[in-house]
């Protein structure tokens, strides 16, 4: 088990984190290039970036945007806060980083980390239940919509157990192996699923706006390609 854990924490972790970072960089570069190209081609280049920024911020700080489906909204918001803050500001993670790369930042107290971890697990399960119980979202949902919160909950649950041997029924190595492997799986899933919104979210409002800014003569060009320039209506 120790060898497996070393592999998961070593080469496989490096692969997973690199896959995530490179994948997200690729998304960001392609998206920004796509937006620039679209604006360059657009007949009307006057775009209200201020309005777009306001719409984006409204959802990055969604106070006031949660008036519909309040429970779902509050669950989502709490979930996001806990899954971002806990792994980034956990003392043990920062210590690993300090040892490996020599960089560090202030950690949150372990008690707070435990509370946020518990919130992350509970809200992940709540999201699954709420998705399944609301008729509109249940109808729309795919396998990945249920699987992703579940997969994300695993490193949190295993991390909590690893940090508290007194409540852990499994061996420390096995728990850590699951913790690291599930985290690696999340890293791999981020760029290839809807989780890529962690870098693309700030761009979607602008994309929705730019798409209405058609290139000059788009209609005529499509008509020509389809051989319909002179076709009667």
Partner 1 sequence: MSNRPYSYYVEDKALNVSQRPRKFLEAFAAVLNHSNYGLALDAYARLTAKCGRCAIDCQLYQITGADEDIPCHRSELLLQVYRRYFTQSGVWKARFIDNFTLTDEYIDRMAEAYYRCTACRRCKASCPWGIDHGLITHLARWLLAEVGIIPKALVVSVRHQLEGVGNTSAIPANALKDTCEFLEEDFGDIYGAKIKFPIDVEGAEYVFFPAVSDYLLEPDTLMGNAAVMALTGGSWTIGTKNFDGIDYGLFYSDRMFERIVKNLVAEVRRLKGKKILIGECGHATRSAWFVPTFCGPDAPRVINFLEYTYQALIDGKLPLKGKLIDDRVTYHDPCNIARDGRIIEQPREILKAICKNFIEMTPNRTENYCCGGGGGTVSIDEIREFRTKSMGKRKADQIRATGAKIVISPCANCKKQLREVCEDNGLEGVAVMGLHDLLLKALDYSSLPQVEKKDDDLDATVKLNEKKGK
Contacts to partner 1 by CB under 8 A? 31, 34-35, 38, 41-46, 51, 55-56, 59, 62, 65, 68-69, 72, 76, 131, 134-137, 139-142, 145, 194, 196-197, 200-201, 203-205, 207-208, 210-223, 225-226, 228, 232-233
In the complex, what is the shortest distance from the CB of residue 47 to partner 1, in angstroms, rounded to a whole number?
A: 11
| Residue nearer to partner 1 on the CB measure, 180 or 210 | 210
In the complex, what is the shortest distance from the CB of residue 67 to partner 1, in angstroms, rounded to a whole number?
A: 10
**In the block, which residue shows the tokens 């971002």?**
84
In the complex, what is the shortest distance from the CB of residue 115 to partner 1, in angstroms, rounded to a whole number?
A: 26
| Residue nearer to partner 1 on the CB measure, 75 or 184 | 75
| Residue nearer to partner 1 on the CB measure, 37 or 164 | 37
Output the CA–CA distances (angstroms, integers) from residue 212 to 74, 78, 209, 215, in the order listed: 32, 34, 6, 9
How far is it, in rounded angstroms, from Cα 230 to Cα 107?
69
Output the CA–CA distances (angstroms, integers) from residue 29 to 42, 50, 200, in the order listed: 20, 22, 10
Alpha helices in 134-196 (DSSP H): 135-140, 143-163, 172-192
**In the block, which residue shows the tokens 């728990």?**
175
| Residue nearer to partner 1 on the CB measure, 19 or 170 | 19
In the complex, what is the shortest distance from the CB of residue 89 to partner 1, in angstroms, rounded to a whole number?
A: 24
Output the CA–CA distances (angstroms, integers) from residue 184 to 11, 22, 63, 178, in the order listed: 11, 14, 32, 10
In the complex, what is the shortest distance from the CB of residue 31 to partner 1, in angstroms, rounded to a whole number?
A: 7
List of E strands, 55-99:
none
Neighbours of 186 (CB within 10 A): 20
| Residue nearer to partner 1 on the CB measure, 100 or 227 | 227
């Amino acid at each position: 088990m120790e060898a497996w854990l070393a592999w998961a924490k070593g080469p496989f972790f490096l692969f997973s984190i690199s896959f995530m970072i490179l994948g997200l960089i690729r998304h960001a570069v392609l998206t920004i290039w796509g937006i620039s190209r679209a604006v360059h081609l657009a007949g009307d280049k006057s775009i209200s970036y201020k309005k777009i920024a306001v719409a984006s911020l409204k959802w990055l700080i969604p106070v006031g945007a949660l008036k519909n489906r309040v429970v779902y909204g509050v669950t989502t918001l709490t979930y996001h806060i806990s899954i971002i803050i806990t792994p980034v500001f956990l003392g043990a993670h920062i210590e690993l980083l300090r040892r490996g790369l020599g960089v560090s930042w202030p950690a949150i107290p372990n008690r707070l980390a435990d509370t946020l971890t518990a919130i992350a697990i509970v809200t992940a399960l709540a999201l699954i239940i709420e998705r399944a119980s609301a008729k509109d979202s249940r109808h729309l949902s795919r396998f990945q919509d249920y699987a992703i919160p579940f997969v994300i909950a695993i490193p949190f649950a295993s991390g909590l157990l690893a940090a508290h041997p007194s409540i852990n029924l499994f061996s420390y190595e096995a728990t850590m192996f699951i913790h690291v492997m599930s985290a690696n799986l999340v890293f791999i899933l981020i760029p290839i699923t809807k989780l890529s919104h962690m870098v693309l979210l700030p761009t979607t409002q602008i994309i929705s706006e730019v798409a209405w800014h058609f290139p000059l003569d788009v209609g005529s060009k499509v008509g020509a390609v389809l051989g319909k320039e002179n076709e009667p209506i």
